[in-house]
Chains A and B, each alone.
Chain A
Amino acid sequence: MTPSLTDHLLTADGVTVRFGGLVALKDVHITVPPGSVVGLIGPNGAGKTTLFNVLSGLITPDTGTISSKGHRLSGLRPYHLANHGISRTLQGLNLFPGMTVLDNVMTGGERLAKTGLFTMLTGLGRFERDERALRGRAMAVLDELGIAHVAGAYPSTLAYGVQKRVALARALVNEPELLMLDEPAGGLSSEELAELATRIRDLRERMSVLLIEHHMDLVMDVCDHIVVLNFGAVISEGPPDVVRNDPAVTAAYLGSAEESDDE
């Protein structure tokens, strides 16, 4: 099946971002169709995270539009994105310190607990039901990721790989249609990497994934489509085989090989 344009979970069209004199993104076009894993790669400083920040409403582009399933997203506040079925993780962990793993994950469940402020302050009955449903949902996601046993622990007491899974669980508790992952493999061991690849392939059954990642093996392994950015512009895109053999990509990476090899 070929999905029509209005089915695309996320479309960025002609996005340009300038920071003062620096052009961070130049006329970037990217789409994420349903049921796909799209990889976003490029050397350090290519504009990958800037693009993610534009897509999630943290940065307003100078020109260009962002839309989801035919609805324009540009100009929406970041907190509206959750209601469009889009969730993302940030580089690193960004867990809430001083909150248990379960509380951290429950924070991601905004869309499920759509209680209005008025109800929250007055209608205790409804309130409690939402809270319980959210708690159950959060536990189910923790269980799915194999970390239900640490639900009551504080993130800082856990191993890095486990904390990464907590961050993933928080992004998943919303049952998003599109999951944006910013460097999910950073700092993981080789076993954890293999597990992550399996997990992304499993998630593809129920949602689309947009992935920023430096780890080439993982990207080539799980992605259906890869977009390569360099100096803020798309220099190549296509299925993994095509991108792998594109001389422009090799040149971009070789040209900055000394900085990009940071692990």
Chain B
Amino acid sequence: MDYFTNLTLNGVAEGAIYAALALSLIIIYQATRVVNFAQPALALIAAYIALTVTTASGSYWLGFAAALVSGLLMGSVTERLLIRPVQKTSQLSAIIITLGLLLLLQGVAGMIWSNEPHSFSYPMDFEGRFSPADIFGVAAVLGTAMLLFALYRWTPLGLRMRAAAAHPEMARMLGVRVGLMLTLGWGIATVVGALAGMLAAPPFVYPNVLDSVFVYGLAAAVIGGLDNPFGSLLGGFILGISLSFVSGYLGPELMPLAALIILILVLSVRPDGLFTRPKARKV
């Protein structure tokens, strides 16, 4: 029983990271209908920037803040300079650009910070069952999710961002600066991605450190439903707990396989994801 509890709690902690990545993918998907494959690379650069700032200043939290700020900047710049120019031609070009950016940024990270793992210090104890680090991770992700909910649901800015995503042409005519809202959406999403990177990277950071986490985050987003932010959060936790059981009872080498099996099972039963209401057909 104790083992079962351990696995559950580990799953919750891991799930929080998947949930954050899923959320960062969904924010962008809802705003621009693009799956941002560059998300792990952007988060990786943010983590390296945090490492540099922490090493120079000696403060983990200064590095943490630097990661979030650089996430906001990188996300906004990516949308404005790389995505916007090709979005009008086809959605597919935008997705391919994010794939290219992923490879480019991972390469650049290796050139600047080397491909060898750097030890990535953590100010909290991360040993044992539901360590302070785990608690911080879960709290940070849930807190971020609540902040985002409040932003989108209760503020005029959120209202405009939702309107811009739902019907850009109409929103524009109502006086919404649609382009600015999309840029901001990418910025916010990348902050959430950077948070996930900061939680996932320790104890070591190297250019491919976030690859597997990203695959699980993407799976969580699809399981929850790409149109549903709550679903993606829940999807993250469900996947985290399930994979923790697989790893604990069947062996950690089966985790990637299990993630894909869960994904296929969910998609064959609920193609729009577990928590998306099936769309009524338009007549």
- Which residues on A are within 8 Å of B, measured CB to CB? 56, 58, 77-83, 87-88, 90, 94-99, 103, 106-111, 113, 115, 117, 120-121, 127, 130-131, 134, 156, 170, 174
Contact = CB atoms under 8 A, between A and B. Distances in A.
User: Most chain-B CB neighbours within 10 Å: which of A79, A106, A115?
Assistant: A79
Contacts of B162: 96, 98-99, 103
B176 A110 contact: yes
B173 A90 contact: yes
A174 B163 contact: no
A111 B173 CA distance: 12
Contacts of A79: 172-178
Interface of B: 154-157, 159-160, 162-163, 166-167, 169-178, 180, 184, 280
A58 to B, nearest CB: 7
B157 A120 contact: yes
A78 B172 contact: yes
A218 B113 CA distance: 71
Contacts of B175: 79-83, 108, 110-111, 174
B166 A127 contact: no
Given A117-B180, A156-B280, A170-B174, A131 B156 contact: yes
A2 to B, nearest CB: 31
14 contacts: A77-B177, A83-B175, A94-B167, A96-B166, A103-B162, A107-B163, A110-B160, A110-B176, A115-B156, A115-B157, A121-B157, A156-B280, A170-B174, A174-B175
Contact of A110 (B154, B166, B170, B174): B174
Given A79-B175, A79-B176, A107-B160, A96 B167 contact: yes
A170 B163 CA distance: 12
A77 B178 CA distance: 11
Contacts of A117: 157, 180, 184
Contacts of A83: 175
If over half of B's interface residues share one DSSP class (helix, strand or loop), that class is named, otherwise mixed; here it is: helix
Nearest to A117: B180
Contacts of A109: 156
Contacts of B180: 117
Given A96-B171, A103-B159, 17 more contacts: A78-B173, A79-B177, A82-B173, A82-B174, A82-B175, A88-B173, A94-B170, A97-B166, A99-B166, A103-B162, A106-B156, A108-B174, A108-B175, A115-B156, A115-B157, A127-B155, A131-B155
B166 A98 contact: yes
Contacts of A130: 156
A127 B280 CA distance: 36
A202 B180 CA distance: 37
Contact of B173 (A56, A97, A103): A56
Nearest to A130: B156
A110 B157 CA distance: 10
Nearest to A115: B156
A111 B169 CA distance: 18
Contacts of A106: 156, 159
Contacts of A98: 162, 166
Contacts of B184: 117
A183 to B, nearest CB: 15
Nearest to A83: B175
A107 B174 contact: yes
Contact of A87 (B160, B167, B174, B177): B174
A94 B170 CA distance: 7
Contacts of B172: 58, 77-79
Contact of A99 (B154, B163, B173, B280): B163
Contacts of B163: 96, 99, 107
A186 B180 CA distance: 34
Nearest to A109: B156
A179 to B, nearest CB: 12
Contacts of B167: 94-97
Nearest to B153: A103
A153 B180 CA distance: 29
Contacts of A111: 175
Contacts of B170: 90, 94, 96
A98 B30 CA distance: 12
B62 to A, nearest CB: 21
Contacts of A170: 174
A98 B156 CA distance: 16
Contacts of B178: 79
Contacts of B166: 96-99
A120 B173 contact: no
A106 B155 CA distance: 11
A90 B172 CA distance: 12
Contacts of B174: 79, 82, 87, 107-108, 110, 170, 174
A107 B159 contact: yes
B156 A113 contact: yes
Contacts of A103: 159, 162
Contact of A131 (B154, B173, B177): B154
A36 B106 CA distance: 62
